[in-house]
Structure 1
Amino acid sequence: MKFLIFLAFSICLVSAQQLIDLKTFRGENFKNFINAHAPYDVFVSATSDDAEILSQIHLITQDKQNQTFLQLKNRKPFLTTSQIQPFPVQTSAYVTTNLTDQQVENLTGMIFICTTNQHQINNFHVIDVDKPQTLYLPNENQTVLFLNSNMESTPVQYSTISSWNQSSNSSIYFYKGIPTDLPEKDRTFIFSNPVSPTRATDHTIEFFSNVQKFSLGLGAFYIKYYGGLSFNIAPEYYDVNGTSTNSTTTTGFYMKPKNQKDRNVTIQIAQNSKDVAGVTGSNVNFYPIFFLQY
Structure 2
Amino acid sequence: MTKFHLKYRRMPANSGNLQPYPIQPNSYITSNLADIQLANLKGVLYYNTVKQFANQYFYVIDVHSAFNFNLEGLGDVKTTVVFLNTMTNMIPNFSSKISNWQQDSNASVAIYNGIPQDGIKPKNTQIFSNPVHSDIFDWFYFKNVETFSLSSVAFYLDSFKGCTFKIEPGKAILGGTTTTALTTTGFYMKSLGEQQTVTRVNMMKDANSNGYTGANILGHVPNGATVTFYVEDNGKNYGTGTVPADFFAPWSTAVVGDDIVINSTNAQMGQYFVQYFVIQGVKLNVTTAAPGDTTTVPLETTTKLSGRVFTEFLCMVILILGSHRF
Same fold by TM (over 0.5)? yes
Q: 1:168 to 1:80 in 2, by over 3 A?
A: farther
Aligned counterpart, 2:253: none
Pairing 1:276–2:263 present: no
Contact 1:142 1:226 in 2 (8 A): yes
Pairing 1:238–2:172 present: yes
Q: SS at 1:104's partner residue? A: helix
TM-score by length of 2: 0.65
Aligned counterpart, 1:88: 22
Equivalent of residue 182 in structure 1, options 119, 124, 127: 119
Note the residue ranges of structure 1 that are not aligned, 5 or more in a row.
1-66
Aligned counterpart, 1:292: 279
Equivalent of residue 10 in structure 2, options 76, 97, 105: 76
CA distance in 1, matches of 2:170, 2:149: 8
Q: SS at 1:243's partner residue? A: coil
Offset of residue 183 of structure 1: 1.6
Pairing 1:223–2:157 present: yes
CA distance in 2, matches of 1:266, 1:149: 29
Q: SS at 1:209's partner residue? A: coil
Pairing 1:154–2:103 present: no
Contact 1:129 1:148 in 2 (8 A): yes
Aligned counterpart, 1:168: 105
CA distance in 1, matches of 2:210, 2:49: 53
CA distance in 2, matches of 1:184, 1:288: 18
Offset of residue 102 of structure 1: 1.4
Contact 1:108 1:151 in 2 (8 A): no
Pairing 1:145–2:78 present: no
Equivalent of residue 132 in structure 2, options 187, 192, 195: 195
CA distance in 2, matches of 1:153, 1:262: 17
Q: SS at 2:4's partner residue? A: helix
Offset of residue 277 of structure 1: 3.5
Higher RCO (C-alpha 8 Å, min separation 6): 2
CA-to-aligned-CA distance 1:136-164 (integer Å, 9 cap, x gap): 10221111111111111221101111000
Offset of residue 122 of structure 1: 6.1
CA distance in 1, matches of 2:143, 2:32: 53
Q: SS at 2:46's partner residue? A: strand
Contact 1:127 1:144 in 2 (8 A): yes
Aligned counterpart, 1:116: 50
Aligned counterpart, 2:196: 262
**Aligned alpha-carbon RMSD (Å):** 1.9
Aligned counterpart, 1:25: none
Note the residue ranges of structure 2 that are not aligned, 5 or more in a row.
219-272, 282-326
The alignment-based identity, stated in percent, is 37
Offset of residue 121 of structure 1: 4.0
